[in-house]
Amino acid sequence: MSAQLGYSMFQDVLFPVAEQVSATAAAEVLQLRRVKRFVPAKDLNILGASIVVFDLETTGLDHQVDRIIEIGAIKLAGLEPIAEYSSLVETDIELTSDIVTLTGITQEMLQGQPQMGAVLPEFLRFIEGSILVAHNAEFDMGMLKAACSRQGLELEWPCFCTLKMAREMLADLENKKLDTLAAHYGLSFESRHRAIGDIKVTVGVLAGLLRQEAAAIERWDQLQPYVVT
């Protein structure tokens, strides 16, 4: 067919030479996106499950524009900590004074740190086989999925949200901020608005919710109203 159209004005449209197809366009057409997926069994016992509580510090609140500057995570077995993961992440985005004040993370601290292309595979290995948990999980999962997408990866991983559960189970509290929940359960922060510091409090909040307010919940399928996917 190509030979028959050799002198046609449609030749370049139907059979463009390699130089006419940009590398970017070809990549967009041909790239096969990888999927990273975890599907817990419906009858999985929550108190005995492998759970990873995680938290992100970022340059801002926009999933598409802003970037992750710190990832922290604590792995639980039987709601008891067994391992930690933590890493700062170098980014080209200039930190605002508000972010520096909020997190205590400065531009200088990020210089020379691993970039997301190196950090993300480590984090995904850390969470393998575990249910994710975060406070205000919609934000953290949105940022994490956006980071994965930029690496050509689609993340399909359920994340249980302690904020969602607190809104239902602790309706009488004035608000469901992490500070308020920490006070409710008698917890204190080692470092506020740093990933591991916030996670340690979230671990305590999670234990309080599951052992007190939601003691009747035993299986993964019972937690679906509080899951972000």
Query: Tens digits of per-residue pLDDT, 46-98?
Result: 999 999 999 999 999 999 999 999 999 999 999 999 999 999 999 999 999 99
pLDDT band at 9 (very low <50, low <70, confident <90, very high): very low
Whether residue 89 contacts residue 119, with contact meaning beta carbons closer than 8 Å, is answered with yes
pLDDT band at 170 (very low <50, low <70, confident <90, very high): very high
Whether residue 74 contacts residue 196, with contact meaning beta carbons closer than 8 Å, is answered with yes
Which segments of the chain does DSSP mark as H helices, in order?
11-14, 23-30, 97-103, 107-110, 116-126, 137-150, 162-169, 178-184, 195-208
| CATH 3.30.420.10 fits domain 34-228 | yes
**How large is the average pLDDT for residues 185-202?**
86
Would you state the pLDDT for residue 32? 61
pLDDT of 8 higher than 70: no
Which segments of 57-135 does DSSP mark as H helices, in order?
97-103, 107-110, 116-126
Q: Indicate the average pLDDT of the chain.
A: 88
For 130, residues 6+ apart whose C-beta sits below 8 A from its C-beta are 38, 49, 50, 51, 52, 75
The Cα–Cα gap between 165 and 176 comes to 10
| Segment 105-145, tens digit of pLDDT | 999 999 999 999 999 999 999 999 999 999 999 999 999 99
Would you state the pLDDT for residue 1? 45
Residue of higher predicted confidence among 24 and 108: 108
